[in-house]
Amino acid sequence: MALLEVDDLSVSYATSSGEVVAVDHVDLHVEPNEFVGVVGESGCGKSTLLFGIAQLLSSPARITGGSVRFKGRDLVSLSSRELRAQRWRDFSVVMQSAMNALNPVKSIGAQFIDAVKAHEQMPKARIRERSAEMLRLVGIDPVHLKSYPHQLSGGMRQRAMIAMALLFTPDLVIMDEPTSALDVVAQRSLMAQISELQDALGFAVVFVTHDMSLVSHYSDRLVVMYAGQTVEVGDTRDVFDSPQHPYSQGLLDAFPSIRGPKTTLTGIPGAPPDLALPPPGCRFAPRCPMVMDKCHTIEPELYRAGSALARCLLYDGEAK
């Protein structure tokens, strides 16, 4: 049994122009200690998926189908009290911008105390000790327990967030673009830190990002999302070396390389579909360089494509 089993999850928003399906029948399985990258551009549903998994959706968004089994228990069906018992101890969440997630008027130490007390009775001294330990683990001098968020640099704030997320050494940490507010050197450093922590403490990571190359060295598996659906799932190296879905190919090709020969790139023309009115058939068909006639009428499933899964009729096993 996998650590996290998301099966057929769907999340919808009620908007004034109708129901918008932001996450459409998504499956995601995460094994213990695995690093899974969820990659996609704006509007693909990756953040909504994350919020759906962590049971953090707020109206008008709601889960309309599927299940989220964490260690065998379906999180969707838990009461909020039962959920609270699991939160932070078994799984925790790191948000995109620490400045938005940290309380600006409380010291870091005070926030750690809040986080611990919300889930366990622990004497203050023990909490301080644990907080200092966690800060050291992420490379911050424990003297900063007395500092306020604005006194730390962006990189340090993100590390403090990660330290907070690891207070109870959970089995799963869900991260929503934790590095995107940082400069490239700080990003690289944070990614390496996360990897080290994973080795030291042993936890699984679900890492949501728009930047494929960022996770390329750290993730075991990659899930590519487009228009609310998963379009490719596979081992990271396989997806990078030979992407099966035309969108993954297009996405990889859209990154200018820093080394190697200079070629003219084209990106992917067009824009993602309006999820209130998704196009019939394959959602990527309007922009796909390899589109066939049947792509406009048949909705593709996830088919086996080499060692990966791809939501593309090129792999449906039928004659063209």
Partner 1 sequence: MSIVTSQVDAGTAAAGLTTRRRGLGFIRILLSNGKATVGAVLLLIFCFVAAFPGVFTDDDPRADAYDRSMGLSSHHLLGTTAYGQDLWAQVIYGTRQSLVIAAVAGALATAISVIVGVAAGYLAGVADNVLSLLIDVFLVIPTFPLIIVIAAYKKSSLTVLIAVLVLTGWSYGARQMRVQTMSLRNRDFLQAARARGERRLYVIVVEVLPTMTSLIVAQFLGAALYSVLAAAGLQFIGLGDPNALSWGTILYFAENNEALQTNQYAWAVAPGVCIALLGAAFALLNYAFDEVSNPALRPVRRRGRRGVAGS
Partner 2 sequence: MTSTPATDAAGAAAPADSAPLLRTEGLTRHFRIGGLGRRHLLHAVDDANFAIGRQEIVALAGESGSGKSTIARLLAGVHPPTSGEIYYKGRPVSRMRSRKEVLAYRGAMPMVFQDPFSSLNPAFRVSHGVLRALKLHRTDLDAAGRRAEARRVFEAVGLTPAETVLDRFPYELSGGQRQRVGFAQAIAYRPDLIIADEPVSMLDVSIRVGLLNLMSRLRETEGVSVLYITHDLASARYVADRLMIMYAGYIVESGPSEDVLAEPKHPYTQLLLSAVPDPRAPLSEQATADRGEPPRVVDPTPGCRFRFRCPLAEAVCETVTPALNPVAPDHVAACHVTAPAGR
Residues that bind partner 2 (CB under 8 A): 41-42, 139, 153-156, 182-189, 192, 210-214, 216-217, 240, 250-251, 254-260, 262, 264-269, 271
Asked if 229 is part of the footprint of partner 1 (rule: CB under 8 A), the reply reads no
CB under 5 to 8 A by kind: which of partner 2, partner 1, none does 251 bind?
Answer: partner 2
**Nearest of 48, 68, 69 to residue 58 by alpha carbon:** 48
What track of x and - describes contact with partner 1 for positions 20 through 39 (by CB under 8 A)? Answer: xxx-----------------
Beta strand 229-235 with 303-305 is unpaired
Residues 6+ apart with CB under 8 A from 144: 108, 135, 151, 152, 156, 160
CB under 5 to 8 A by kind: which of partner 1, partner 2, none does 265 bind?
Answer: partner 2
What track of x and - describes contact with partner 1 for positions 99 through 138 (by CB under 8 A)? Answer: ----------------------------------------
The angle subtended at Cα 84 by Cα 80 and Cα 46, nearest 5°, is 85
Asked if 250 is part of the footprint of partner 1 (rule: CB under 8 A), the reply reads no
238-247 exposure pattern, b = at least 16 Cβ within 10 A, e = fewer: bbeeebbbbb
- What residue type is assigned to position 280 of the chain? P
Beta strand 229-235 with 221-226 is antiparallel
Of 21 and 313, which has the nearer Cβ to partner 1?
21
Q: How far is the CB of 275 from partner 1 (least distance, A)?
A: 4
What track of x and - describes contact with partner 1 for positions 275 through 294 (by CB under 8 A)? Answer: xx------------------
CA atoms within 13 A on the CB side of 208: 25
Q: Which residue in 107, 169, 180, 193 binds partner 1 (CB under 8 A)?
A: 180
Of 31 and 274, which has the nearer Cβ to partner 1?
274
Of 240 and 303, which has the nearer Cβ to partner 2?
240
CB under 5 to 8 A by kind: which of partner 1, partner 2, none does 142 bind?
Answer: none
Q: d(Cα 32, Cα 88) in Å, to the nearest integer?
A: 16
Residues 6+ apart with CB under 8 A from 110: none
Q: d(Cα 291, Cα 246) in Å, to the nearest integer?
A: 9
Q: How far is the CB of 42 from partner 2 (least distance, A)?
A: 6
Encoding tokens for residue 88? 């932070």
What track of x and - describes contact with partner 1 for positions 158 through 177 (by CB under 8 A)? Answer: -------------------x
- DSSP-assigned beta bridge partners for residue 23: 11
CB under 5 to 8 A by kind: which of partner 1, partner 2, none does 269 bind?
Answer: partner 2
Q: d(Cα 62, Cα 304) in Å, to the nearest integer?
A: 30
CB under 5 to 8 A by kind: which of partner 2, partner 1, none does 96 bind?
Answer: partner 1
CB under 5 to 8 A by kind: which of partner 1, partner 2, none does 219 bind?
Answer: none
Burial class (CB in 10 A: 0-12, 13-18, 19+), 30: buried
Q: Which residues contact partner 1 by CB under 8 A?
A: 13, 15-18, 20-22, 41-48, 61, 96-97, 154, 177, 180-183, 210-211, 228, 272-276
